[in-house]
Chains A and B, each alone.
Chain A
Amino acid sequence: MSVASDAWDRSWVRRSLLAIAAIVAASPLFAWAAGRVGYAEPLENAAERTGAMAHEVTYNPGLLPDYAIPGLDPLVGTFVSAVVGTALTLVVATAIARLLAD
């Protein structure tokens, strides 16, 4: 029973990771399509309406600012950001889970 459910678990993990990899692979396509229609969130609209845009400051641009690699094609940056961010999240969240499991 436990061996069978173990195998089930592993195949479920594999299938989940494959699905996540497919999402990561599709990310540049979505970035391109979103860029075509223009990109504005309600938060940005509210900031523009109230004049808040001038107050925005950046204390931490991050290693991959705005999911891009400075100087490289934005779609390449999107793809690399998706790979790096997804892998990092997987590692960090699994580590947190293991800490909680102890």
Chain B
Amino acid sequence: MHIPDGFLDLWIAVVCAALAGGTLVVAARRADGELTDTTAPVLGIVAAGLFAAQMLNWPIPGGTSAHFVGGAFAAILLGPHLGALCVATVVTIQALVFGDGGLVVLGANVLNMAVIEVYVGYGLYRLLAGHNEFVAAFVAGWLGITAGAVAAALQLGASSAFAYELVTTVSIMGVGHLLLGLIEGGITAVVYRYVADARPDLFPTATTTEVAA
């Protein structure tokens, strides 16, 4: 889902960068005070874990592959603001060091994966966590990544490189990630359950009654 340079019209890239940058500034302000020197390594470990997990391309017969992005997972574990900063760090390193995602479009990639996926995933998790936390984590991962993909498809489909074929980009990327997102949801739910069992105290966002379950 990393957009390379040349795919987005400049004005779209600029608007996305402004939205992403503005959100991260607010996120950093909101997250200020949530961390202490003892909890600071958690952000580093989650970010490193996401980078490593994104290296694993799960082969899917039929000529496609998917990797875990983890935006919703980071949001559930760290809260949305730290989650956004966490994924933004990963996406930026991928672009700068590995050329995965372009420079001019970095803001768009951050917006899609570190802002939209994170906040949509978190919102869905909060909406459903009262009923069933495992299902909530699954839906957060599944529809969070789909929302990020649809956002990317809208940006691409509104650009000249894609001949303004908005319907084509949204249908290919929307349906594609709706299916691939099932893997994202599954990994999000399973790893969430594992971490929640091991460290219930890490979930300031979780309802206390559900964590014990």
* Count of A interface residues, CB-CB < 8 Å: 63
Q: Are B56 and A56 in contact (CB under 8 A)?
A: no
Does B161 lie within 8 Å of A64, measured CB to CB?
A: no
Residues from chain A with a CB closer than 8 A to the CB of B85 are 93, 96, 100
The reply to whether A24 and B52 form a contact with Cβ atoms under 8 Å apart is yes
Q: How many interface residues does B have (CB within 8 Å)?
A: 76
Q: Please state if B98 and A66 are interface contacts (CB–CB under 8 Å).
A: yes
List which A1-43 residues lie within 8 A (CB) of chain B.
6, 9, 12-13, 16-17, 19-20, 23-24, 26-27, 30-31, 33-34, 36-43
Answer yes or no: B173 CB below 8 A from chain A CBs. Answer: yes
Nearest chain A CB to B27 CB, angstrom units: 10
The answer to whether residues A52 and B41 also contact, given A30-B55, A46-B172, A60-B96 and a CB cut-off of 8 A, is no
A23 touches B49 (CB 8 A): yes
Whether A84 lies near B97 (C-beta < 8 A) is: yes
Establish whether residues A60 and B95, one from each chain, have CB atoms under 8 Å apart when the complex forms: yes
Known contacts A33-B59, A37-B62, A63-B97; A58 and B172 CB within 8 A of each other: no
With A43-B152, A94-B40 as contacts: A26 and B56 at CB distance below 8 Å: yes
B203 at the interface (CB under 8 A from A): no
If A23-B56, A50-B163, A50-B168 touch, does A100 touch B38 (CB 8 Å cutoff)?
Answer: no
Q: A13-B45, A66-B100 are in contact. Are A89 and B89 (CB under 8 A)?
A: yes
* B1 and A93 form a contact (CB under 8 A): no
Known: A16-B49, A58-B99, A89-B47. A46 touches B40 (CB 8 A): no
Q: Are A88 and B55 in contact (CB under 8 A)?
A: no
In the complex, chain B residues whose CB is within 8 Å of the CB of A19: 49
A12-B199, A62-B98 as given contacts; A100 in contact with B49, CB under 8 Å: no
Interface residues of chain A, those whose CB is within 8 Å of chain B, are: 6, 9, 12-13, 16-17, 19-20, 23-24, 26-27, 30-31, 33-34, 36-43, 45-47, 49-52, 55-67, 78, 81-82, 84-94, 96-98, 100-101
